[in-house]
Structure 1
Amino acid sequence: MPPKKRRFGRVRKLPSGRFQARYRDPNGTDRPAPHTFPTKTDADRWLTAVEADILRGTWRNPDLGRVALGDYLTEWIDQRPNLRPRTVDLYRWLRAKHIAPRLGARLLTDLTPGVVRAWRADLLADGVSTTMTAKAYRLLRAVLNTAVDDELIRRNPCRIQGAGIERPTERPTATVAQVFQLADIVPGRLRVLILLAAFASLRYGELVALRRRDFDPRCRTLTVRATLVERQDGTLTFGPPKTDAGLRTVTIPAAIRREVRIHLNDFVDEDQDALVFTGATGAVLRRSNFQRTSNWRMSVAAVGLPGFHFHDLRHTGNTLASRTGASLADLMARMGHASTRAALIYQHTTKERDEHIASGLSEQIKNGRDRARSGHGQRKKR
């Protein structure tokens, strides 16, 4: 009895002994399966699944995903709306440095979970930090999510649990005394820059974008209205803060208000639009200029903080603010965060707070044992 003829597609045995499946798509194009099969049964099952997709209307044209990842990623970055300039720079750098060299020539349809796992493992084996690897993985995952939306691929192959989570090492914090020691070492026109970074929790870009009009007459508050963005090509741009939450008014601690007033009087032009912090010639204070003028590396080492970054001043201020008992919402408002993720870092239990909790528990244990010894709360004898 001759074998029953298939209603959909056809299968033939190749000289190699493997089996090839072919079918006509909804447009009438004759298509082969993307690979051969070890048995005729396997080929039949594959054709049955394709037929079911066509009947359900879920069949995808396999040619749609035949786009090189490198090209698709470039277009994705260029066409992404509302990306901040430095984010664009970061994405282009990640593409050129960590994604394109290994995956750029691969077609979207050729990206599998195994390929992605191998790519990530290679990055880590080559000494790329876990933080930078997580950034590259998150970018790849976002791009391939768009490819799914564009119906170029069926599923996102980035499925490594936790691979996109950054776990940076804990940054150091300075003591209040060390902050003032550092402020004493740097040139006088940079002194208040140090103090506001630490005690007003401002980012570097926010500080160097401050203008005289951003301070109230008594320097009780300052208002963050802009930030300075320095691109990788050296271009400087004044723009809005990172998020809407970045537009905020911050109360300046009374202990440093006098120093702020002195700085405005001694180093800032009377024009309300004058920048509060500038270079020696009055130009915008670039990061490189600040690092050189402050002799940053030697200055932080001199106060016992080798390897201390400028951003660690903000981290110090945020930590000090959390110790005041501020709520999560209060911390978010002061730091200019739109989400709770970063602010929650400063809600972690400090050693001092943990000792306070342990002390309270100890008191309760003591009181409970004292009551037991005095006959209160003893179990009845059977």
Structure 2
Amino acid sequence: MRTKNSWGSVIYDKTRNAYRARYQNPHKPGSVVQRVFSDKLTAQGWLATEKQLVEADKAGLGTWTHPSEREAQQKAKNERNNTVFKDYAVEYVANWRRKDGQPFAEATKRKHREYLDHLMTASFINKTLASVTEADIYKWLDTPMNATPRLRAYQLLKDIMKKAERTGLIERSPVIMKAPKLPKSKQAQIPVATREELETIYASMPEYCRIAVYLGACFDLRINEVCALQIKDFDLRHKVLHVRHSIGKGEGDRGYRRLKATKTTSSMADLSIPDALISMLMEQIDKRDDDRMLIESPKTGGILSDVALRRLFNLAAAKANRSDMHFHTLRATAIDTAIHQGATLRETMALGRHDDEKTSVERYQRASPERLRELSNTVATSLLPLHRTREDVESEVAETRERLARLESELAALNERDGQEILHR
């Protein structure tokens, strides 16, 4: 049964036991626009409403769009009006990925959850995304909170709102204020290690892991990278260290330590092995198989955990009267030593495997392999223990005698000049 009028039609569909309302698409002749309803009256009402929209479009009083497009817009509007910030933030952190699309390391995910916990203290978390205001954010920032958690949670909030704006859930992000400032890092204020302090720490650590001190100081390695080193990572013939792994826990930041990817892509690097470190490495390797760990756990023979190595380092540092020092201070020691040896900013970034260099540095300064090898040797020579040989002492004595002879000659020339001046008076 079909009900016709001068515009569109309503047809009874026996199969569905429903009414189909339809009319000609005003923008695509020959194409039909239709919807199905459970009763005839509703179908006729929808048809009447559609007629008004089409006539308004023809009269230039509005723009007709397909019902499917209007329904999608309404759905998006409803989503904007109903999406609660808390739900959106939790989902954002759960699906957070690195810039290259890969998932973050488990330890990093744990940090993200900590930032989220700090953000969840805000009073606006149960509001819809669209209703969160600048005033809400300022109020939250003014609440008592440690500086670092406040900054990290703020940065997370900014990322969340930026995505909401980008996907159309909000028209404009309310996070437009300046980021909270951090006080100067306490770790950044810790003095770097001296050669003598490194030697004391090295001697105070167990023999099986003491080389970690100079691996950290000479190569600017993180403690997780030191623990991940295998024999095969060292090419002593070509004097190259291949940094390829870090260590970390398993899924959910749980379980035993295992080899994992480095912290960042730039952390993977081929580093020059200083000449002064070769003999120490050969002694540590001691003809062991390539797949063995450079520093093995005395209990398992496998990976030594970063927690265990850090504890041993801290005990040794205390014996050097440097209880303030962390293993991470060795990274600062390497960079500081390189800078004082005349390294450029680009060279120190290459040595430290940092990926935040500025365009000007990338374009106009270069760190050649030869210069990096020279720099690596200079750093190691400045930090490794002094083992002076007879030849070293004899060479220094000869240099001193030569310098003394030059000074005596210069003094004699001055005396002769002064004597001539007196005669001429």
Structure 1 and Structure 2 fold alike (TM over 0.5): yes
Q: How does 1:346-365 map to 2 (within 5 A)?
A: none
Quote the offset at 1:233 in angstroms. 2.9
Quote the offset at 1:289 in angstroms. 2.0
Greater shift, 237-246 or 331-340, is seen at 237-246
Q: Which runs of 4+ in 1 moved over 6 A?
A: 57-60
Of 91, 94, 106 in structure 2, the residue corresponding to residue 75 of structure 1 is 91
Judged with a 3 Å threshold, the aligned counterparts in structure 2 of structure 1 residues 257 and 339 are, in CA distance, closer, same or farther, namely same
Contact 1:131 1:168 in 2 (8 A): no
Quote the residue 1:319 is aligned against.
336
Contact 2:220 2:351 in 1 (8 A): yes
Judged with a 3 Å threshold, the aligned counterparts in structure 2 of structure 1 residues 75 and 235 are, in CA distance, closer, same or farther, namely farther
Quote the residue 1:183 is aligned against.
202
Distance in 1 between residues matched to 2:172 and 2:255, nearest whole Å: 39
Deviations 1:68-115 (A, max 9, x none): 22221221122233232222111112112x012334323212321111
Judged with a 3 Å threshold, the aligned counterparts in structure 2 of structure 1 residues 75 and 162 are, in CA distance, closer, same or farther, namely closer
Quote the offset at 1:135 in angstroms. 1.3
Letter in 1 for 2:120: A
Judged with a 3 Å threshold, the aligned counterparts in structure 2 of structure 1 residues 298 and 238 are, in CA distance, closer, same or farther, namely closer
Quote the offset at 1:317 in angstroms. 1.0
Distance in 2 between residues matched to 1:70 and 1:235, nearest whole Å: 33
Distance in 2 between residues matched to 1:167 and 1:234, nearest whole Å: 35
Q: How does 1:228-243 map to 2 (within 5 A)?
A: 228-230=247-249, 232-243=253-264
Distance in 2 between residues matched to 1:204 and 1:291, nearest whole Å: 8
Question: CA RMSD of the aligned region, Å?
Answer: 2.8
Quote the residue 1:84 is aligned against.
104
Contact 2:258 2:303 in 1 (8 A): no
Structure 2 SS opposite 1:189: coil
Distance in 2 between residues matched to 1:111 and 1:257, nearest whole Å: 60
Of 40, 63, 66 in structure 1, the residue corresponding to residue 82 of structure 2 is 66
Quote the offset at 1:263 in angstroms. 1.0
Quote the residue 2:411 is aligned against.
none
Quote the residue 1:270 is aligned against.
288
Letter in 2 for 1:89: R
Letter in 1 for 2:280: E
Quote the offset at 1:186 in angstroms. 0.9
Q: How does 1:63-212 map to 2 (within 5 A)?
A: 63-81=79-97, 82-85=102-105, 86-96=107-117, 98-102=118-122, 103-122=124-143, 125-126=144-145, 128=146, 130-163=147-180, 167-169=184-186, 170-172=188-190, 173-212=192-231
Of 218, 224, 235 in structure 2, the residue corresponding to residue 216 of structure 1 is 235
Structure 1 SS opposite 2:208: helix
Contact 1:68 1:107 in 2 (8 A): yes
Quote the residue 1:255 is aligned against.
276
5+ long unaligned stretches in structure 1: 1-27, 29-56, 345-382
Percent of residue pairs bearing the same amino acid type: 22
Distance in 1 between residues matched to 2:163 and 2:175, nearest whole Å: 12
Distance in 2 between residues matched to 1:219 and 1:176, nearest whole Å: 26
Contact 2:155 2:179 in 1 (8 A): no
Judged with a 3 Å threshold, the aligned counterparts in structure 2 of structure 1 residues 331 and 163 are, in CA distance, closer, same or farther, namely same
Contact 1:180 1:195 in 2 (8 A): no
Quote the residue 1:280 is aligned against.
298
Letter in 2 for 1:336: R
Number of corresponding residues: 278
Distance in 2 between residues matched to 1:178 and 1:219, nearest whole Å: 30
Answer yes or no: is 1:225 the counterpart of 2:241. Answer: no
Give the TM-score taking structure 1 as reference length.
0.66
Deviations 1:329-374 (A, max 9, x none): 2222221112127xx9xxxxxxxxxxxxxxxxxxxxxxxxxxxxxx
Deviations 1:243-292 (A, max 9, x none): 33222111122222211211111xxx722111111211213111222234
Distance in 2 between residues matched to 1:313 and 1:304, nearest whole Å: 16
Give the TM-score taking structure 2 as reference length.
0.60
Quote the offset at 1:319 in angstroms. 1.2
Judged with a 3 Å threshold, the aligned counterparts in structure 2 of structure 1 residues 304 and 241 are, in CA distance, closer, same or farther, namely same
Judged with a 3 Å threshold, the aligned counterparts in structure 2 of structure 1 residues 80 and 174 are, in CA distance, closer, same or farther, namely same
Structure 2 SS opposite 1:61: helix
Distance in 1 between residues matched to 2:269 and 2:166, nearest whole Å: 36
